[in-house]
Structure 1
């Protein structure tokens, strides 16, 4: 059986797919930001704990919410063969993102000596932005890997059937009982 290698999507198709992924990632991320800021500000104002501790709590809750959005919506078509590996990498990269995000809160609070809700939220917003860029590229590169694309059915060339003497038949058609069953596989682009 001769097969041809699947052709790579054009740059336009890849950018179109990436833009859809960025939009979905942004929607889940925006929900995560609302959860993050809501929880961290609520904990900060209700408990009076240290700003970095409150920020870490908000970030941890947002990471849990984001995982659900990424796994079951943005990257639902990614290879889920090894869920343990996926969750481990997600937590590692989320932890690095958390350090980036809360590092800016720490720097603003303890190095610059800026206290108050405005300084807290501005530093958290800057850290969240930088952490989000890091998370986007690490999640799509290492955590939620795409399922490798298979050759499309029209790319597969079936061998010509042989007649009883080992000769190829004149028509080149394949009898129905010898045709392989094909199932159309659809991929989200």
Structure 2
């Protein structure tokens, strides 16, 4: 028996899919975290761009790479609802997670009047954990829609989810 087959049987299809998505999500996230840090350092130290510009460009590139990794690997077994829709929602979810992290740090720094680098770094780590959890849940719920069911006669197929029909305007 291949390694992990017994575990997959015991967990069931839903739990196996969740474990697969969570594992891939972690790998893509870690790789993009390293990419973000590396690009920031190169743009700021070597290229000579400003800190904010470097962070903005590094974040834009790493978020785009994360989108590709999540769309085609982490959540590859899910239905496709359109590249533009998924990309826009992906960036919106990342913006929400970033805003939440900034609010947490601002609340500790200014609301609780904490200036300690250790306290602020611990808050930063907590905000990353909360943001990562939020992103995973929202990616699964809003960005990459429910998994496509296997066809009875063959392999999985991807489908495009159509927008709901628009109501007809009332006629006098």
Closer/same/farther in 2, CA of residues 109 and 48 from structure 1, 3 Å limit: farther
Please give the secondary structure, in 2, of the residue aligned with 1:26.
helix
User: Once the 2 structures are TM-superposed, how far is the Cα of residue 115 of structure 1 from its aligned partner?
Assistant: 5.3
Q: 1:76 to 1:151 in 2, by over 3 A?
A: closer
1:12 aligns with 2:5: no
Alignment gaps of 5+ in structure 1: 1-9, 154-183
Cα deviation 1:59-115 (Å, max 9, x = unaligned): 544322311211222123333341111112111111111111222333344443425
Which structure has the highest helix share of the two? 2
CA distance in 2, matches of 1:64, 1:133: 19
For 1:54 and 1:114, locate their aligned partners in 2 and report how far apart those are by CA, in whole Å. 25
Say if 1:150 and 1:17 are closer, same or farther in 2 by CA, change over 3 A.
closer
User: How many aligned residue pairs are there?
Assistant: 145
- TM-score, length of structure 2 as denominator length: 0.64
Match of 2:155 in 1: 185
CA distance in 2, matches of 1:16, 1:104: 33
Question: Residues of 2 paired with 1:75 and 1:64: CA distance?
Answer: 15
Note the C-alpha offset of 1:31.
1.9
* TM score, norm. by length of structure 1: 0.59
Asked if the contact 2:77–2:148 (Cα under 8 Å) also holds between the matched residues in 1, the reply is no
In structure 2, list runs of 5 or more residues that go unmatched. 1-9, 158-172
